Each structure stands twice: as C-alpha cells, then as structure tokens.
Structure 1
Amino acid sequence: MGSYLRLEMARNFRNPVGTIMLVIFPVGLYLLFTRVLNLAQQGQAGDFAAHSMVSMALYGAMGGALGVIGGAIAMERGKGWLAQLAVTPLPAHGYVTAKLLAGTAGVLPSIVAVLAAGALLSGVRLPPGTWPLLVVLILVGVLPFAALGVALGYAIEGQAGGLVTMTVYFVLAVLGGLWLPVEAMPEGVRAVAEYSPAYAAGSLAWGALEGRPPTGASLALLAAWTLFFAALALWRYRRAL
C-alpha cells in the first residue's frame, strides 16, 4: 500500500491547475463574506471573520476531497486502471485507505490559504498554537468526505457523477452549518444537522477558536461517519472490480 499511497500523493501535487482552483474558490468565498458583503453584525466582526474562516476552510477542503477524488476515479475507470489494479497484490482496503489519506493531504494548500487570508486580510488574531491546531483538526474533519468521494466515484458513472457529487457536497455543507449557523436553523432541521458529518467536523475547529478541546461526542460522531463512508467505499470498489 505504501507505494500506491506515494503514487497518489505525487499525482495530487502534480496538478497545479487543480491545486490553484482548490485555493481560489474557498479564499474567494471567504473574502466575499468578510470583506465585500461584510455580513458580520456590529461589534462581532472579529468573531465572524474567525468563524467564517474555519467554515470556509472546511468547505473548500470538503469540496476538494469529494471532487478531486471523484474526478480521479472517473479517469481511472475510463482508462481501465481498475483492470490493472485487480491483478496487483494491492488489497481493496489498501486502495481505499490510500485514496482516503492522499485525498485528505491534497486539500492542505486550500486550508492553509484560507487561514492565511483570515490572518493577513481579515485581521483574525489567534494564539500562535491555535493556527497549526486548526490545520490538523480540519484535516481530520475531511476524512469522512474523502471516503465519501471514493464511494460516490464508484457508485455513479458518467456526467451524473459530477452532478450528484456537487448536490451532496452542497447539502452536507449547508446542513453542517458552514453557510448558516446551525443555531439559526429551525428546531427540526437543527436536530438533524447536529448529527451531520460536516457539523461534527466543524465543531472540532470552531471549538478550538474558543480554546475548547474536541469533545468525545464530536470525535465519536466523526469516527462513525468516517467508518461508515469507508465501508461504503470498500463495498463499491469491490463491486467495480
């Protein structure tokens, strides 16, 4: 699995166009909210900029994990890569694990860019140790979406794959409170939102802004979603061989 993981890592960072798009999109949205539209209420600009920074960093990372992995799988299926993998000693769980880890690492530039925009352009000020902690927590939060990207890549073929992936991406982001705080949602929707994977991921980093360590409930929920999506990805990959 180690060799295949290195191959996946190298492929992620040899696509400069994809990396640039992963950086521009979330940074652009973040600056639109905080610098152009100025959605913060009076007296809450600093809190809003920091909270939005984390939300957009996670939003961009989610999109990268889902879209990049799904797109790579579509190319692999079209070029007959699966047939070649089937005759190698690489086990199915090794393939899924490598995709998951490489996809998660591939969104690192996007996360760093949004955090840098928050610090340099929006005046976000945090304790020095909080910045690397945010990077780690957001990367951990991306794991279930990387697994979901693999599952969707093998579940849906053709042009429908991109449409379904984008729909799932947007719904999970909204439900997870990345666009609208969960507290502002109707009570019935909020009850569902608080168990969504995006909310579990966001909770880790939002808590870090306030100096709170990750809660056991958030970690358990995130682990459960990661295992569920990884099992789904493994099942779909085996069916596709």
Structure 2
Amino acid sequence: MSSLILTHTRYQFLEQLRVPIAIVAGVFFPTISMLAFVVPFAGHDPVTATVGTASMTLFAVMSSGLMGLGIGVADDRGKPWDPYLRTLPAGPFPRFAGRMLTSLAVMLIAVVPVVLVAAFLTEATATPLQLLLGLGALIVGALPFMMLGLLVGYSLPAKAAIAVSQVLFFPIAIGGGMFGNPMDPPAFIGAVAPYLPSRGAMELVWAATTDFRPEPLPLVTLAVWTVAGAAAAVWAYRRDEGRRFR
C-alpha cells in the first residue's frame, strides 16, 4: 500500500511540475499578501510580525488545499486517464493519499517565500522548535481545506470548481480575520470567526510559534470541519463513481 501511495504522489507531483502555474500562483499570492499586509503594518513588532507571518503561511496552505485540490481534481476527472485509474483494483485510498501528500508538498513550497520575507523584512522571531511545531500545526490546519478541495473537485466540473473554490476560499479567509488585525477584529468578524476553520487553524499556528493561548471553541470548530469535510469528500467520491461507472 505504501508503495502505491508513493507512486501516486510521485506521478501527481510530476504533473504539477509539468504545468507549474498552480505552484507559481500558490507562491505569488501569499508572498504579495505578506508584503502588503504584514511588512508595512506589523513588521516592526516581533510579536505582531510573528502572528502575521503565521497567518500568511496559513493563507498559502488554504489556497493550495482548497483551490489547488478542488480545481486539480475536477480537471483530472475530465481526462480519459482518470476513469482508467478507477478500474484498477487498488481502491481509492492510494489516490486520496497521493493527492493529499502532493498538496502538502505544494503547500510547503508556497510557505518558504513567506518565511523568507519574514526573516529579512520583519522583526518576526521563532526558535527552531517553534518552527517545527508551526509546521506541524500548519499540516493539521490544512486538513479541512484539503477535504473541502476534494469535495469541490469530485462534485463539480472543472469550470464550476474554479468559481466555487474561490467563492468558498475568500469568505472563509476574510471571516476568520486573516486580512485584518486578528487580535482586534471588527464586531461581525469577531462573531463569526470562531465558527470558521480558518480561525481555529490560525490559533493553532499562533500557539505553536508564539505564547498565544488558543480558545477552545475555534479548535473544536476546526476538528468538526475536518471530520465533516472528510465525510463529505468520501461521499462526493462515491457519488461520482456511482454516476460514472454504474
């Protein structure tokens, strides 16, 4: 099973490298957001710069997970190779795992420029242990967005997946307080943020990289979105399989 997962991961990552626009976009937008929102407004203070950097790394993870997977899976479903792979006896798990590992690799690539901007242009600080814990928190925080990406990809055709993934991404990011002052958000955002996975993921990364103590509700919300997203992604895969291969 592990060799099948690695085979799918290698194949899908090579596909990403052959058409690297998704990687370029995944690197470009978080880095530009870091330069626009964090460096000029929070870069002079170590704590706010570190919190802002953590939020921008999550922005990179969210876009790669939700939009990258959603659009990529929907595009693959429209190609002749996808139905052939589904006829093989390995089952869906190696493909699911391969997609998620490929998405994680793209996420890590997208995070690197954000961290470099923070290191050279802000006063953000983190110990090696905090960086390692932050990486683990990013991976956990990425899970609900990867599940949502799989749900979109297996539910919609490619053109619709592009629009729907963007429509989902930006309200979740903005509603979680990602583009404002997360410590002092407007009243509306403060009311809805604890119920969005972006807020729980941000608080998890903040806790890993600073002395911030997360609230219980956003973390519970993050777990609920992850489990519900996984169930919905599996349902969408089986529904798509039933429609196309019955």
Counterpart position of 2:171? 171
State the Cα deviation string for residues 87-142 of structure 1 (Å, max 9, x = none).
Answer: 11132344333323321232101112211211122131222321222222112211
Counterpart position of 2:244? none
Counterpart position of 2:69? 69
Cα displacement (A) at 1:53: 0.8
Counterpart position of 1:211? 211
Cα distance in 2 between the residues matched to 1:17 and 1:159:
17
Query: Cα–Cα, structure 1 residues 132 and 213, in superposed 2: closer, same or farther, change >3 Å?
Result: farther
Cα displacement (A) at 1:194: 0.6
Cα distance in 1 between the residues matched to 2:216 and 2:92:
30
Query: Cα–Cα, structure 1 residues 28 and 183, in superposed 2: closer, same or farther, change >3 Å?
Result: same
CA-based RMSD of the aligned residues comes to 2.5
Counterpart position of 2:224? 224
Counterpart position of 2:149? 149
Cα displacement (A) at 1:236: 0.9
State the Cα deviation string for residues 147-182 of structure 1 (Å, max 9, x = none).
Answer: 110100122224222111111000111122211226
Corresponding letter in the other structure for 1:184: P
Counterpart position of 1:185? 186
Structure 1 counterpart of 2:37, from 30, 33, 45:
33
**Percentage of identical aligned residues:** 30
Within 5 Å, give how 1:9-88 maps onto structure 2. 9-35=13-39, 38-40=40-42, 45-88=45-88
Cα distance in 2 between the residues matched to 1:81 and 1:199:
38
Counterpart position of 1:5? 9
Corresponding letter in the other structure for 2:77: R
Cα displacement (A) at 1:13: 4.7
Counterpart position of 2:104? 104
Q: Which runs of 5+ in 1 are unaligned?
A: none
Cα displacement (A) at 1:189: 4.8
Cα distance in 2 between the residues matched to 1:215 and 1:95:
35
Contact 2:172 2:197 in 1 (8 A): yes
State the Cα deviation string for residues 59-113 of structure 1 (Å, max 9, x = none).
Answer: 1211011222122212212212331122111323443333233212321011122
TM-score by length of 1: 0.85
Contact 1:104 1:146 in 2 (8 A): no
Query: Cα–Cα, structure 1 residues 18 and 202, in superposed 2: closer, same or farther, change >3 Å?
Result: same
Cα distance in 2 between the residues matched to 1:158 and 1:125:
41
Cα distance in 2 between the residues matched to 1:189 and 1:27:
24
Cα distance in 2 between the residues matched to 1:61 and 1:28:
15
TM-score by length of 2: 0.84
Contact 2:62 2:142 in 1 (8 A): yes
Cα distance in 2 between the residues matched to 1:182 and 1:211:
14
Cα displacement (A) at 1:29: 1.0
Query: Cα–Cα, structure 1 residues 104 and 45, in superposed 2: closer, same or farther, change >3 Å?
Result: same
Q: How many residues align?
A: 236
Query: Cα–Cα, structure 1 residues 222 and 18, in superposed 2: closer, same or farther, change >3 Å?
Result: same
Query: Cα–Cα, structure 1 residues 40 and 214, in superposed 2: closer, same or farther, change >3 Å?
Result: closer
Contact 1:99 1:150 in 2 (8 A): no
Cα distance in 1 between the residues matched to 2:136 and 2:17:
19
